[in-house]
Amino acid sequence: MRGWRIRLWLAPALVILTLGAPPRSVEAQTGTVAGTVTLEQAQVRRRTAGRYPGQAAGAPEIQRIPVVAYVVGRVGNATFSSASALMVQQDTAFAPSALTIPVGGTVEFPNDDEFFHNVFSYSSAHRFDLGRYPRGESKSEQFQEPGIVEVFCEVHDKMRGVIVVTENPFHAIVGEDGSFRIVGLPPGDHVVAFWSADHRPAQQTVTVRAGSTTTVEVELSR
């Protein structure tokens, strides 16, 4: 009987120890890629003369687009939080000028200006032309293939933007100071691509470790 008493006392203790062990956090199971992108001094962008309503007198400056860092290819079962995005035509510019969507995702292009706009792209990843439409109207486009889609307005030469269509949700818009941070990556080797409107694209293979940050330094040339 004494042996049975020992087992009855030990069993509850084992249960308490098991329930009290905290689960591993998401941060501990994944890693981060962070770093800095430096740009070779770009040539002065050409300026265009105003030909249509909405274009200021003189020669407006071509719209700036931030550098985009993104992981190439599929990454496990990771999914986007949303399959749709918004790129507004506002103040004679695309806002935002850079966005990332999943393969199969849709982008809405509402016109918030008091004059006609047009959205088109001749990019090999996806060619389309939504035609001209006035304020208050919106048109959309679905993107079925991964790649870089540069968009423009046929009416206003200075307007430009980019849509990065990817197979995973791991990406970052590079800040004005050149810094970026991609979080939540599963451990392993990943290819990180860097795209710039005025510089040559680049890629780096990085090794991500759980619970740590992999540092990347990239220079994009003209």
> Domains, the chain, ranges and CATH?
25-220 (2.60.40.420)
Q: What is the DSSP-derived secondary structure letter of residue 55?
A: P
Pairwise CA distance, residues 50 & 59, whole Å: 7
C-alpha 149/C-alpha 96 separation (Å) is: 14
**pLDDT band at residue 191, thresholds of 50, 70 and 90?**
very high
- Calculate mean pLDDT across residues 84-105: 97
Average pLDDT over residues 128-140: 97
- Please provide the average confidence, as pLDDT, over all residues in the chain: 86
Is the pLDDT at 20 greater than 50? The verdict is no
Q: Is pLDDT at 7 greater than 50 in this prediction?
A: no
pLDDT of 61 reads 87
% of residues, the chain, pLDDT over 90? 75
CB 188 within 8 A of CB 76: no
Q: What pLDDT does 24 receive?
A: 52
Residue 48 has pLDDT above 70, yes or no: no
Higher-confidence residue: 20 or 139?
Answer: 139
Residue at token pair 């509850």: 12
**Confidence bin at 44 (pLDDT 50/70/90):** low
According to DSSP H, which parts of 21-84 are helical?
Answer: 26-29
CA–CA distances in Å: residue 146 to residues 70, 125, 126, 133? 12, 7, 9, 27
As a whole number of angstroms, the distance between CA 202 and CA 184 comes to 22
Mean pLDDT value across residues 2-8: 40
What is the residue type of 199? H
What letter does residue 221 receive in the DSSP assignment? -
What is the structure's pLDDT at 79? 84
pLDDT band at 190 (very low <50, low <70, confident <90, very high): very high
Mean pLDDT in residue range 17-43: 71
Residues in the chain: 222
Q: Where residue 41 falls among pLDDT bands split at 50, 70, 90?
A: confident
For residues 51 and 118, what is the distance between their CA atoms, to the nearest angstrom? Answer: 14
Alpha-carbon distance values, 75 to 37, 162, 170, 171, 193 (Å): 23, 23, 9, 12, 14
Identify the CA nearest to 149 among candidates 170, 173, 128, 132. Answer: 128
Go through 95-105 and write b for each residue having 16 or more CB atoms within 10 A of its CB, e for each that does not.
eebbbbbbbeb
